[in-house]
Amino acid sequence: MLTRELVLPGGARSRVLSCSKDLEPGVRAMLLLDEDLFRLDVMIVGDTLQSFVRNLTIGELEVSGEVGQPRVATTTLGLAARYAPGRADLRFAVGPEDDRVVTEVTIATLRFGDRGAIRVSAQGIVRRG
């Protein structure tokens, strides 16, 4: 996993997390971790990608009602269609009421049928609310 700090316009701080793993169907694996905030696991079941957010804060976990409907453009180039590219999106907030942190995650997948694996890549942008 790669983690980098960002300084947003106006001086606010943010963080970008990313990870990529090859998973077998039915295997649950950690994808993103912010040790103070959350852990995101995923599991592929059939054609479904299941996500699990573990809240590591004392505040409530709230998941966006807009999941699956963000403005995301997808493009497939060259031979990539043979690997059945897909994507999913997740947005959630954690942390105490006076210090909420919002994380937007985009997950991209590719299927490698010959070796029975699915590559799952994720990028999460963590922002103070």
Query: Under rule CB under 8 A, which residues in 38-57 are in contact with another protein?
Result: none
Q: Which residues contact 98 (CB under 8 A, 6 or more apart)?
A: none
Instruction: Show the site string, 96-125: x = touches another protein by CB under 8 A, - = not.
Output: ----x-x-x-x-x-x-x--x-x-x-xxx-x
The site that binds another protein (CB under 8 A) totals a number of residues, namely: 53
Choice between 28 and 87, CB closer to another protein:
87
CA dist., res. 83 & res. 113, Å (int): 8
- Report DSSP state, residue 81: G
Burial class (CB in 10 A: 0-12, 13-18, 19+), 97: exposed
Binding flag, residue 19, another protein (CB under 8 A): yes
Encoded tokens for 119: 């590559």
Tell me, what DSSP letter sits at residue 4? E
Residue ranges in 57-86 that form contacts with another protein under rule CB under 8 A: 60-66, 70-80, 82-83, 85
Q: Are 7 and 98 in contact (CB under 8 A)?
A: no
Minimum CB distance to another protein, residue 100 (Å): 5
Residues that bind another protein (CB under 8 A): 1-2, 4, 6, 8-9, 14, 16, 18-20, 22, 60-66, 70-80, 82-83, 85, 87, 89, 91-93, 100, 102, 104, 106, 108, 110, 112, 115, 117, 119, 121-123, 125, 129
